[in-house]
Amino acid sequence: MPDRASGRHLPSLNAVRSFVAVARHLSFTKAADELAVTQGAVSRMMQTLQADLGVELFRRVGRGIELTPTGAAFYGEASAALDRIAAAARAARAQEGGVLRVSALPTLTQRWLIPRLKGFQAENPDIQVEVSVGEHRVDFAKERIDVAIRYGVEEWPGAEMATLMPETMGIFCAPSLLEQGPPLRHPADLAQHRLLQHTTRPDSWRVYLAAFGLPLPEAALSLAFEHFFMIIEAASAGMGVALLPVFLAGDDVASGRLVQPFAETLRPRGRYLIAHAPGAERARRVRRFKEWLLAEVE
């Protein structure tokens, strides 16, 4: 369609969306399913787009299709352009107030974020917060997430990051383990205990013990769990010794469910991060939430 204001000739946005779907699936049928239209409608859209551009974007190969070199180049640019349009639309819809979608680590969400959210909502009653859990690197151009809280990510293409807080790891166990088990007064005593392992941080015990010049007793790693909240529950049940972020164990220590048998801790290289799409802080809800998070950890 002509863009008279700029003198540009732009193809139909619906045609470009249809093309990107066909190119992604290399199937008119699957693209039609994704777009909730008929296969015939997609086929006609592709004929119109190719005529508009004056080039062939697909060619038949047996009973299927493949992209031409021109089609492959156009797919890369068009797909990225649609992602940018989607991101711009989300930012435009949510400049003030609205819904704030937060994705955070499971145990941090349960033990740290949720107990504090009441304070944020008291200060910002016009912002509705939706919280989900996740550990993956969010693609802010494609996912409906405004802010992510993650651990240890050094590079994150398509995101702006700020440090929420460093991490200090300490040793915790149930009081009954100290009363009934072998001594646990120094890091060297860990060799006499079952060590509860974190499956997504498999090297954590080795790194901790190496900091004190100690080897990893392989036989001690007989129980493993995916999340810190699982390890906390296992430790409080007397099933072994846990290596935990100190801030996540604080409430359990205060209630007497866990004890910290000695003071030796370790600060890993990783850190907790706040991440969002570039420029997302222009939206008040993102800016206010980020400011509130940083104030909470001061």
Mean pLDDT of 28-36: 92
Q: How far apart are CA 48 and CA 67, in angstroms?
A: 16
Q: How far apart are CA 106 and CA 288, in angstroms?
A: 22
The residue type at 168: T
Q: How far apart are CA 208 and CA 267, in angstroms?
A: 9
Q: How far apart are CA 209 and CA 216, in angstroms?
A: 7
- What is the strand order of the sheet 127-133 is part of? 127-133, 98-104, 147-151, 271-276, 160-166
pLDDT given for residue 90 in this prediction: 67
pLDDT given for residue 153 in this prediction: 66
pLDDT grade, residue 102 (50/70/90)?
very high
7, pLDDT greater than 90: no
Q: Is 7 left (phi over 0), alpha (psi -120 to 50) or beta?
A: left
Please give the structure tokens belonging to residue 196: 């509860």
Is the distance from CB of 294 to CB of 162 less than 8 angstroms? Answer: yes
Please give the structure tokens belonging to residue 176: 């009954």
pLDDT given for residue 170 in this prediction: 98
pLDDT given for residue 8 in this prediction: 65
Q: SS3 helix, strand, coil % of the chain, rounded to 5? A: 45, 20, 35
89, pLDDT greater than 80: no
β-pairing, 223-225 vs 160-166, is unpaired
pLDDT grade, residue 148 (50/70/90)?
very high
Closest CA to 258 of 236, 228, 227: 236
Mean pLDDT of 125-154: 92
pLDDT grade, residue 181 (50/70/90)?
confident
Please classify residue 242 by burial: count the beta carbons closer than 10 Å to its beta carbon, then call 0-12 exposed, 13-18 middle and 19+ buried. Answer: buried
Q: Which of 18-32, 70-84, 216-230 has the lowest average pLDDT? A: 216-230
Q: How far apart are CA 103 and CA 142, in angstroms?
A: 14
Please give the structure tokens belonging to residue 235: 């430790």
% the chain with pLDDT above 70 = 94
- Average pLDDT value for the chain: 91
Mean pLDDT of 51-58: 93
Mean pLDDT of 85-113: 83
Secondary structure class of 2 (helix, strand, coil): strand
Please give the structure tokens belonging to residue 93: 């819809």
Helix axis angle for 284-297 and 114-123, nearest 10°, is 130
